[in-house]
């Protein structure tokens, strides 16, 4: 089984992963840097003027969990391919944790900043339109949010198994409470957080991209509640939108398994996500470079 990644509570984000730690879990490497991102360490500011920085923000879909190796993550694949295509140093950050919604992600940005990001990719699924933090205790309470290593693999297996599959035998805790219902107030707060992430990223000089991730039951025309609302905010803000559904459906039709459960992508799914994001990121980088190199037009008669 290996070691479970450890978490810590946070008054703004609810929780995040403990920084500067590496684990091996189910045969996969899981590494968190000094900023609690699931990626390699990098300095606070760019080491070279030509360095490209991309920050990918999301929940367990972006994080990958213990079932996806570090090298197979969408962010790891993007970093390698962008460096090859653009022939320049590239850092791709993975800002994520399970069950984070836009308010959690915005709180991360407010605490850590965007670390000189040139491009920010926000990955949202349909449920994120009402994924408002509840701040009930989960770290060290719910066995899926451990804050210390288990005594043994047997102890962990029993604890998690009882909690997940025999909840009636496990003491109830606040962390087992259901998610907030999609009331107009909850939805408004989550969609406002989506807007604010775009605004903060642009204010810092970054280009922004929205990836709408679709779960297994959204491969056809039927979409979950929240899909249209999240997309409308992206359109309202003039953000390029990439959808995973058509590419995932095509891969499945050809016999490629892309989900490890009804929601989360496996390594093949992460590869498709990276392929979908590659060109939009490169286009955003080229657009920024063109804009920076275009001289300002001086009106007839000179400056006033």
- The conformation of residue 2, written as its DSSP 8-state character, comes to B
- Whole-prediction pTM: 0.89
Strand stretches in the chain, DSSP E: 7-10, 14-17, 21-25, 28-32, 52-58, 90-96, 119-125, 207-213, 241-243
Specify whether the CB–CB gap between 8 and 18 falls below 8 A. Answer: yes
Q: Please state whether beta strands 28-32 and 21-25 pair in parallel, antiparallel, or not at all (unpaired).
A: antiparallel
- The conformation of residue 216, written as its DSSP 8-state character, comes to G
**Angle, alpha carbons 292-298-299 (nearest 5°):** 140
Helix pair 74-86, 267-293: axis angle to 10 deg: 40
Give the percent of the chain with pLDDT over 70: 86
State both tokens at 1: 């089984």
Above 90 in pLDDT, residue 76? yes
Residue 178: its pLDDT value, please? 60
CA 21 from chain centre, in angstroms, equals 19
Above 50 in pLDDT, residue 204? yes
Distance CA 198, CA 27 (A): 37
Average pLDDT over residues 36-64: 97
Q: Kind and range of the H or E element at 104?
A: helix 102-112
Q: Going from the N-terminus, what domains does the chain have, and what CATH number goes with each? A: 49-134+179-290 (3.40.50.1110)
Average pLDDT over residues 100-118: 98
Alpha carbon separation from 53 to 66, 67, 221, 222, 239 (Å, rounded): 25, 26, 35, 35, 18
Residue 299: its pLDDT value, please? 41
Average pLDDT over residues 88-100: 97
Distance CA 35, CA 16 (A): 10
Distance CA 32, CA 40 (A): 7
Residue 138: its pLDDT value, please? 92
């Amino acid at each position: 089984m290996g070691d479970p990644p450890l978490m810590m509570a946070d008054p703004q984000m609810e929780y995040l992963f403990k920084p500067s730690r590496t684990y091996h879990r189910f045969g996969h490497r899981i590494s968190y840097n000094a900023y609690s991102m699931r990626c390699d360490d990098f300095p606070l500011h760019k080491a070279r003027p030509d360095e490209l920085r991309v920050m990918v923000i999301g929940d367990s879909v972006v994080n990958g969990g213990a079932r996806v190796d570090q090298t197979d993550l969408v962010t790891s694949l993007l970093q390698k391919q962008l460096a090859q295509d653009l022939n320049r140093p590239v850092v791709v950050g993975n800002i994520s944790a399970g069950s984070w919604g836009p308010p959690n992600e915005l709180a991360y940005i407010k605490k850590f900043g965007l670390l000189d990001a040139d491009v920010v990719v926000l990955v949202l699924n349909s449920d994120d339109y009402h994924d408002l933090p509840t701040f009930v205790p989960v770290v060290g309470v719910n066995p899926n949010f451990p804050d210390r290593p288990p005594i043994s693999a047997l102890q962990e297996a029993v604890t998690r198994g009882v909690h997940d599959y025999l909840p009636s035998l496990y003491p109830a805790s606040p962390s087992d409470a259901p998610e907030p219902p999609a009331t107009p107030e909850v939805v408004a707060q989550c969609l406002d957080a989506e807007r604010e992430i775009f605004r903060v990223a642009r204010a810092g000089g970054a280009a922004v991209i929205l990836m709408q991730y679709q779960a297994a039951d959204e491969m056809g025309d039927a979409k979950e509640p929240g899909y249209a609302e999240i997309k409308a905010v992206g359109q309202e803000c003039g953000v390029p939108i990439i959808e995973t559904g058509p590419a995932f459906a095509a891969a499945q039709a050809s016999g490629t398994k892309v989900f490890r459960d009804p929601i989360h992508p496996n390594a093949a799914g992460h590869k498709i996500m990276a392929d979908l994001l590659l060109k939009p990121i490169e286009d955003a980088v080229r657009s920024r470079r063109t804009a920076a190199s275009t001289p300002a037009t001086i009106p007839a008669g000179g400056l006033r």
